[in-house]
Chains A and B, each alone.
Chain A
């Protein structure tokens, strides 16, 4: 469903690429967890998929849509929750969701129904008529998630979605992600929470210094490292060994 082929992105010619020749494939109906140390290239990769950045080389596609030749169709197919949710803060939650629904050309009745459904699920109904500027970080995160779900997309892309969410909302989101995949959707999300990745993801990719260090199911990762008893956290630490020091020095 999501395909990255030899994708490279540099912010500066004098520095190593943020994403270096990455090839990655996420099949339909799977939850893909994207892991990596700070500054490894997770957000850059996600931003390229959703159209916030353009790769220097390589191809990115979601379903049949290429991000360069058919960006609008690609964007229509995905729902994106950024790491720092951006809104028109003077709008109320309801106005924002209707704006998103209109942009995605969701019929009015369907939009109202979905707004009601998701707001109830994420316990945001009461706040929907308040201005977004008065929302807490967690409420904004919930609103971002609802905005991503409102158009019944095929692919959900979430950048650090659990940040700021309370345990109940975090649990709900995990439930929603699983249901989304069971209904044929694909989830691509980045996280630093190994426990969440280990329990929730069908496949995991670990990125380190812009390169995909490992990719596969949890079992495949264990096999590749030769440590059958290892946790995902231990595998992650082994694959990104010394990265923290190099990041600081860098």
Chain B
């Protein structure tokens, strides 16, 4: 195998996205050096983002760590040293497998650069191995993130030692072999299944959905366990309840138990035996997977490219090209709203992100139910329901959820290079804005209404409040859409390689959410003054808020239309 070529292929691919570019701070298109003021802004933004990531990542680590600590204590009750590491290893494997399954097809068979690489004199073996290594490098970080807190728990419990550090590093490095190899085999199975990639896409959506459920479930279970606390009685109870389950799991999953025995202080013989078994099994899995995966790799790759070539001119159900010639004239707004949803439906990542955002209240109810905190929420609602401000709290919570969305704040960015197509359409910026806002309302206004009405069946809120709740909700969602669009029109991220970079790695999304939350907070302040300080009737306060929100739409509309005008104008 040509090591130089392998390195060349890997380096060329890894060079593509720098950390800052992934965060949307640095633009790949920037040719001229940034002005000093822009540089200062960039440094501030970078520092803020890194701080936010640090806090977010840190809190996740702490939560996992606390759970692992509980598991370790339970392990001491049931005689399994390193239970935290064992469970961490299992969870890391499942999470890594699920996410790697989602990304495997793109990396191994459908990445854009593959169309260039197959024309170069690179052997099937080199190409496959380089893609597998890239796939490994892409997914190993997730495994490491889930495992690190478990290793810390072990180090804190048994003391830092050379054995824990060296064996820990080995586990972090080799541990993902099984899940990532399995994901590669799964991708191979569906590499060319189904014309137009229909089944393939279906399997990836399933993987992403499972990942989503897994994360929600993990968070719920973690919260539930954390609420149990660390007292000896609690741990003893948990050990009595789950002891058998953990013991069985420990027997059934030898690869994870070997990892545990390698790291947790025990006899040297046990460590060496586990180390040998772990390395031999992982090595064998890697060898067999690569040997199997590279069989007919070129053929599958070319079939995949052939399918994408063959479908390029085919009218796909969910593509812009699928618009049939209109027999009757349709309004530009209607067509543009359709375009918004066609774009969303064209990418799994957009669908999962935006449709999941629209269903946040439902997801939260499920999380609370699984986490066992639904009763606590109900008790809190009961204690607050006697307050005059309760309908406003209810409306405010729903609105906060409806406006925590990236629908509008990444709407222009999602168009990517197709934005040039939008620019040449004979449609005014106003019409574009109206269509985007309407699409936002269709998704978030409708779900707000549905959740609001369903909630009224369970909460002590008089239906008469719907008189102001519905218009206030729609007006504030519209306002949120205006401000979010203004942000995205001002600094759209149109150059991206992976669609998720337009949404997940786009600062506009976060900015849009922050501005929307500030807006809700301002309206809450107005409500406080009118209802609590001035003592006005709730219905009058509600209607006043409707009037204020309607009036605030006027300047917001001007701002967004101005930003849109600049954006759609020829450069």
A interface residues with partner B (beta carbon < 8 Å)? 11-12, 18, 39, 44, 47, 50-54, 71-73, 75-76, 80, 82, 86-91, 95, 99-100, 102-104, 130-131, 133-134
Contacts and interface: CB of A to CB of B under 8 A. Distances in A.
Q: Which 4 A-B pairs have the closest CB atoms?
A: A11-B310, A76-B121, A86-B116, A134-B31
Contacts of B552: none
Of B30, B302, B306, B309, the most chain A CB neighbours within 10 A belong to: B306
Nearest to A127: B31
Contacts of A100: 120
B15 to A, nearest CB: 6
A78 to B, nearest CB: 8
A18 B354 CA distance: 39
Nearest to A43: B309
Contact of A53 (B13, B31, B113, B309): B309
Nearest to B311: A11
B299 interface: yes
B122 A72 contact: yes
Contacts of A91: 12, 15
B558 interface: no
Nearest to B9: A103
B465 interface: no
B298 interface: yes
Interface residues of B, number: 38
Nearest to B299: A54
A219 B525 CA distance: 86
Given A18-B310, A102-B4, A102-B5, 14 more contacts: A11-B311, A39-B313, A47-B309, A53-B302, A53-B306, A75-B121, A80-B119, A86-B116, A88-B12, A89-B16, A90-B15, A100-B120, A103-B120, A134-B31
A133 B121 contact: no
Nearest to A50: B119
A86 B495 CA distance: 15
Given A51-B118, A52-B115, A72 B123 contact: yes
Contacts of B15: 88, 90-91, 95
Interface in B292-337: 298-299, 302-303, 305-307, 309-311, 313
Nearest to A86: B116
A133 B113 contact: no
Nearest to A151: B121
10 contacts: A11-B311, A53-B309, A71-B298, A75-B119, A75-B122, A76-B121, A89-B497, A90-B17, A90-B18, A90-B28
Contact of A131 (B31, B306, B310): B31
A94 B311 CA distance: 34
B233 interface: no
A53 B115 CA distance: 10
Contacts of B13: 88
B313 to A, nearest CB: 7
B569 to A, nearest CB: 20
B195 A86 contact: no
Contacts of A131: 28-29, 31
Nearest to B112: A86
A118 to B, nearest CB: 18
A87 B116 contact: yes
B115 to A, nearest CB: 6
B119 A103 contact: no
Of B31, B116, B123, the most chain A CB neighbours within 10 A belong to: B116
A104 B121 contact: yes
Nearest to B123: A72
A76 B4 CA distance: 16
B302 A52 contact: yes
Nearest to B7: A102
